[in-house]
Amino acid sequence: MSNTSKPSTVDRLLDQIEQKSATIGIIGMGYVGIPLAVAVGHAGYRVIGFDVLPDRIEQLNSCRSPIGHIPDAALEQIQETGFEATKDFARTAECEALIICVPTPLDKTREPDLSFVTSTMDAIGPYLRAGQLLALESTTWPGTTDEILKPYVERAGLTVGEDFFLVYSPEREDPGNASFSTHSIPKILGGDTQACRKVGVALYSAFIDEVVPVSSTKAAEMTKLLENIQRSVNIGLMNEMKIVAEAMNLDIFEIIDAAATKPFGFVPYYPGPGVGGHCIPIDPFYLTWKAREFGLHTRFIELAGEINATMPTYVIDKLVRALSERGKALKDAKVMVLGVAYKRDLEDVRESPSVLVMEILRDWNADLSYSDPHVPIFPVMREHRFDLSSTELTPETLAQQDAVLLLTDHTGFDYDLIAEHAPLLIDTRGVYRRLGKKVPTA
């Protein structure tokens, strides 16, 4: 008789990962899922991308990238290793690993909205099978993986850590940052069990340069929140310092740059018209919500969020005062917004403070326009809608404005042209410090 034992489920899955015979399913083909698919495909794995948007599926299968910093050629390259996109969630059964990258916004009461996560689990739940790894990358409150995802696995008759593996590994994308890419950014990973962590580390190590294991999925979830809360608090501090400095007729950008010359103990953060993107405006409130379960009030975190949320109104107040000094009212004033994306040189408008500024301007009945080389037509958003397209910047289009608000400092803007022809220019990003221009700043 042979003493050779049958390989365990974990050993079989580890072997499939090592041999690159595993198929990787990525659910949610957006700003996280697409770069992840490119990294996994480049590592030699077959990738199936899942999404509910037919237009997005058609774009991806035609190798037309909807993300500016991901070229079409990157999608063409991973098609060679079998990449395809689909809305057929039954095909998740084909995958040895499933990675969830769906949005986790806040609802109207600023509480976590996990509907995209739960609808994803509803869709894939009937097709979960033994020998799979399930990873959640969406930002969420500590305990989500164990409390929300694990019951779906158990209802499928599977045992986490034995025949099914569950991990949390938060996304750390920084769109448009040429210094880092998906594979070069260290990856935090927590497993529901030691076996889960072992499989998760093996998978992510196949296409990420450095994987950083932590003790649990909760620890990994908390790590992601800490990263973004730290940024939110420091940006909130700088936004408050900006208001104080301006009241004292001081240039906060000069002061921050001077403080940054200290070779230790100071990290520069810069103020602006608010905070945007999916992370900083949202993630801190996932922890404040969860903390209430433990009878805790996270005042420091909430205060930073409040300060950051008031900055669009602060910009409008500055504009109203500047127009008033010129004998004009904001009502019916021609106001052009420069930059509607939340970040320089991106097309991403998620949670952009520019959009909030535009809504306030619309409420004041201003004659509103915008210019953004990365957003030619204002996109359809869940909570915001403008029937506008980008205006070309020319001496004529600038001169006919009553005010121009520089909200996103795209490198594609002609700043000399803007400064020369805008009758009133409010620079919320400190761009004109280097030009020595005498322009109102907010």
So which residues are the catalytic ones?
279
Contact yes or no for 191/197 (Cβ under 8 A): yes
Q: Kindly state the tokens that stand for 174.
A: 């920084």
Q: Kindly state the tokens that stand for 298.
A: 């996270």
**226: nearest Cα among 192, 188, 193:** 188
Contacts of 158 (CB under 8 A, 6+ apart): 128, 129, 130, 164
SS3 65: coil
Q: Crossing angle for the helix pair 217-247 and 252-259, nearest 10 degrees?
A: 130
Contact yes or no for 251/245 (Cβ under 8 A): yes
**165: nearest Cα among 5, 6, 16:** 16
Q: How far is Cα 138 from Cα 116, in angstroms, rounded to an integer?
A: 10
Q: Kindly state the tokens that stand for 365.
A: 């009945």
Contact yes or no for 353/334 (Cβ under 8 A): no
Q: How far is Cα 324 from Cα 237, in angstroms, rounded to an integer?
A: 29
Residue 181 burial (CB count, 10 A): 16
State the amino acid at position 250 in one-letter form: L
Residue 391: DSSP 8-state: P
Q: How far is Cα 382 from Cα 370, in angstroms, rounded to an integer?
A: 20
Q: How far is Cα 402 from Cα 407, in angstroms, rounded to an integer?
A: 16
Q: How far is Cα 415 from Cα 266, in angstroms, rounded to an integer?
A: 30
Q: How far is Cα 332 from Cα 364, in angstroms, rounded to an integer?
A: 8
- Is the alpha carbon torsion for 80, 85, 91, 92 positive or negative? positive
Residue 3 burial (CB count, 10 A): 4
C-alpha 340: how far from chain center: 15
Residue 428 burial (CB count, 10 A): 27
First to last CA, the chain: 82
